[in-house]
Amino acid sequence: MKFITGSNSPEQNSLVGDIRVSGDKSISHRSIMFGSLADGKTEIKGFLEGEDALATLAAFRAMGVNIEGPENGHVIVHGVGMNGLKAPKEALYLGNSGTSMRLLAGLLAGQNFSVTLTGDSSLSSRPMGRVADPLRLMGADIETAEQGRPPITLNGGASLKGIDYDLPMASAQVKSCVLLAGMYAEGETSTTEPAPTRDHTERMLAGMGYSLSRDGACTRLTGGGQLKAATIDIPADISSAAFFMVAASIVPDSDLILRHVGLNPTRTGVIQILELMGANISLSNEHLVGGEPVADIRIQYAPLVGIDIPERLVPLAIDEFPVLFIAAACATGTTVLTGAEELRVKESDRIQAMVDGLVALGIEAKGTTDGAIIKGGCLGAGHEQVDVQSHDDHRIAMAFAVASLRSSSKIVIHECDNVATSFPNFASLARSVGFQLIVEA
């Protein structure tokens, strides 16, 4: 599948609308996982019906959990308790979802049955040693392919012991993996992270009755606890909202409202970075839903300027950098990103993929080991059509769809199938607020 975008003109329509983007992917994953392990019936509203979250849902069905739905974001999970999962009949296929694989590795390391976790070609190239190593320290019997890549096989019956683990990188997936294994371990397990990362796991565990403590960068829990069923109202995903935040920021006279967006403080780096660049962003209707802060976000056009992105904000915006590269390309001056080497081991090498696409569009951009240097300019100048490869990475594809709003040339974005992993209605929602976007098989 590919996206074909219209070329921009001086008469480019502004983006105007009042929309709600898809449900938060991170919370959708965890709602299925923890609802399955809880005692009782968990009702979920706003579930993201994208391929990644559906892979998690299918995995728990394969392990004997009765799950009704999803139907228009509504899911009912009949929990089997902490020790009620059953051995699947075959390997669990997790598609493109790194979150599913890394968190499931932790949850399944202490089960009494063996299971193999597999994925598509993209997921099969991603590093899993970062979760296999701490799990082995806890006593897990775990096998990976060469260089710590998937598939992962967890041999059942291992007796886990709690550990104090200092994360070598800022990764919510690794932190969550260790904590979830800790629920099945003897004694106390702690994680200490070098920089703040999203804390949806900690919030939802606490909200469903599992006792844990948090002290700065350190989180602790003791094995043997229980989870209680709950009603979970999933906020709109700030990572999906980010595409529209940047879009409205770069198109003159735009005025967009994004409803019920999750504003977990470990996820708001994209807002802080855009505001440092001069974006006009305001919040209203701020409140808590299931322990997660949410608000309506209004974005009005404002000229952006290049900045040196503070490294402290990088972990708080790690998934939003592809579209932030587009903001940088449309800004006056130069934007410098450092401390973001994690971007090189996502669904694609996101630094290289974005730099290559921007250079094809005539922007002066250079990748570095841990980031990029981007000089704002005129997108698409001198070209009738520019072809961009998204490398089967949903965020790369959507980022260049946003770039088309300021491009003087038509952009054809290839390999867009995986947009369905995180934002299945992106194209239709984008068109509803003014994007010129055609989806072609």
Same domain assignment for residues 301 and 210: no
Q: Which residues are catalytic?
A: 319
Instruction: Calculate mean pLDDT across residues 144-162.
Output: 96
- Give 9's pLDDT tier (boundaries 50, 70, 90): low
Number of domains comprising the chain = 2
Q: SS3 for 403?
A: helix
For residue 122 the two structure tokens come to 């993209």
Same domain assignment for residues 136 and 184: yes
Same domain assignment for residues 199 and 255: no
Contacts of 216 (CB under 8 A, 6+ apart): none
Instruction: Calculate mean pLDDT across residues 98-113.
Output: 97
pLDDT digits (tens, 9 = 90+) for 51-89: 999 999 999 999 999 999 999 999 999 999 999 999 999
Residue 199 pLDDT greater than 90, yes or no: yes
Q: Report pLDDT for 157.
A: 92
Instruction: Calculate mean pLDDT across residues 118-143.
Output: 96
Q: Report pLDDT for 50.
A: 94
Same domain assignment for residues 19 and 30: no
Same domain assignment for residues 11 and 31: no
pLDDT digits (tens, 9 = 90+) for 317-371: 999 999 999 999 999 999 999 999 999 989 899 999 999 999 999 999 999 999 9
Same domain assignment for residues 59 and 181: yes
- Give 12's pLDDT tier (boundaries 50, 70, 90): low
Q: Report pLDDT for 8.
A: 65
d(CA 419, CA 416): 6
Q: Report pLDDT for 156.
A: 94
The last residue of a domain, from among 179, 202, 233: 233
Same domain assignment for residues 205 and 82: yes
Angle at 76 between CA 70 and CA 81, to 5 degrees: 130
* Residue 80 or residue 9, greater confidence: 80
Same domain assignment for residues 13 and 42: no
Same domain assignment for residues 13 and 52: no
Residue 10 pLDDT greater than 50, yes or no: no
The last residue of a domain, from among 198, 233, 268: 233
CA 434 to chain CA mean position, Å: 25
Instruction: Calculate mean pLDDT across residues 298-320.
Output: 97
Same domain assignment for residues 201 and 247: no
Instruction: Calculate mean pLDDT across residues 145-153.
Output: 95
Residue 162 pLDDT greater than 50, yes or no: yes
- Give 441's pLDDT tier (boundaries 50, 70, 90): confident
The last residue of a domain, from among 233, 251, 277: 233
Same domain assignment for residues 18 and 31: no
Mean pLDDT of the chain: 95
Residue 43's CATH number:
3.65.10.10
What domain range includes position 68?
Answer: 25-233
Angle at 232 between CA 321 and CA 34, to 5 degrees: 85
For residue 151 the two structure tokens come to 């598939």
Kindly report the number of other CB atoms within 10 A of residue 440's CB atom. 9
